[in-house]
Structure 1
């Protein structure tokens, strides 16, 4: 028989108490960065998960030891960056994508010039060559057609007055390859770095001396993937990203323009 007067904590109560214990007051430095760090820690600990709803603003500011205006400022910045999403009348939630949270330290490092663009391109060269190789063995017919569609869009937008359309299609072409590799961890990693490089791509598209050559490099990647040749796909990707890296090295203003 259950004893009267005893209360067994519910799952929700247990989770909330764990979250309350984990949310200690923040030191007063860069509040936005500290809020990001705290959210990342809670995600790593499993206290919060992508898509989790945060405590009410009044409770959150008290738990973190910061003023509500400071918390609102941090929330606003994190919402712009995609880390948080506010649902009118229903509170604030962690982004459904963990890449938004994980990319934050890289964003700040790039802003402080501690990670150079050529270092990131070298990283991409290693990672995306592997993705292209996997896509050559794992891509479905519909995924190859999706890549082909982006190449066709790029082909139709080679003129300078259509470079924005070319850029969007080129970006999506690389996303298609990442998805076609069918490795969720690699996809998450490339999402982190790829998002950081969007502004860089915009800067690069203005200095590409021969967009037709750039297009041919992408066609070579597609040909290797559709031909189910993993080694050729990796080589073609390395060749393409190597060309982009050379452009970055020849145009040092690109990093300043992008960040």
Structure 2
């Protein structure tokens, strides 16, 4: 007896595919240089004619671009390309990492080690003072000092003053939070020592020394977290 094939139900593909193509073409306006970041897009009626699509398809494409931070809408003024790279794509990618803590740690290390060398060249005296204040606060903190620790790394990240990297910084701090949750015990004296060494390297404006000290710090944290994680699963 031949079994009856199970009925398979699939969502309609054409419209979603078309909306993606529309989104890609709108992005191409930036890639080709026809429009620049911060420029206002054509009105909806003009875009539908230019792209030969319906309003629902265009609106679906625009919604996807807005969710990625590529465009933003101003009430009663129209739609604009964003002037800066949004953190949303990076945050979305990081959320897909799930429980892959080793990859999250490596991603954070790669980003911070790249930024610390540039920070040594760009960090201001005011930002150095702010770093020093976080070290003082860390040394006096009686309990969970993760937020003070996070502020130390945030100051360094923003000192680079690079609008492309700024789009990644929120994801970096999100990775920081996920790593901090996996630290079962803290060693404040070690953290203070590491932070002071990083601060002194930045104060001397030495990219190579700043890189070496940040690597020492992050590698120490990485090994501690992965060891604790392995022991908790044993």
TM (norm. structure 1) is 0.62
Q: Of the two, which has the highest radius of gyration?
A: 2
- Give yes or no for the alignment of 1:220 onto 2:220: no
Q: Aligned to 2:119, which of 135, 139, 142?
A: 135
Quick check: 1:52–1:93 contact (8 Å CA) kept in 2? yes
- Give yes or no for the alignment of 1:51 onto 2:38: yes
Q: Secondary structure at the match of 1:100?
A: coil
Quick check: 1:125–1:241 contact (8 Å CA) kept in 2? yes
Quick check: 2:108–2:175 contact (8 Å CA) kept in 1? no
Q: Which residue is equivalent to 1:16?
A: none
Q: Which residue is equivalent to 1:37?
A: 24
- Give yes or no for the alignment of 1:95 onto 2:72: no
TM (norm. structure 2) is 0.67
Q: Secondary structure at the match of 2:160?
A: helix
Question: Distance between the aligned counterparts of 1:230 and 1:152, measured in 2?
Answer: 23
The total of aligned residue pairs comes to: 213
CA RMSD of aligned residues (A): 3.8
Quick check: 1:158–1:211 contact (8 Å CA) kept in 2? no
Gaps of 5+ in 1: 1-26, 253-259
Within a 5 Å distance, the mapping from 1:1-259 to structure 2 comes to: 28-29=15-16, 34=21, 36-97=23-84, 99-100=85-86, 104=89, 118-119=102-103, 121-122=105-106, 124-126=108-110, 128-152=112-136, 159-160=143-144, 163=146, 165-166=147-148, 169-179=151-161, 184=162, 188=164, 190-208=165-183, 209-210=185-186, 212=188, 213-246=190-223, 247=225, 251=229
Moved more, 31-40 or 234-243: 31-40
Question: Distance between the aligned counterparts of 1:214 and 1:145, measured in 2?
Answer: 18
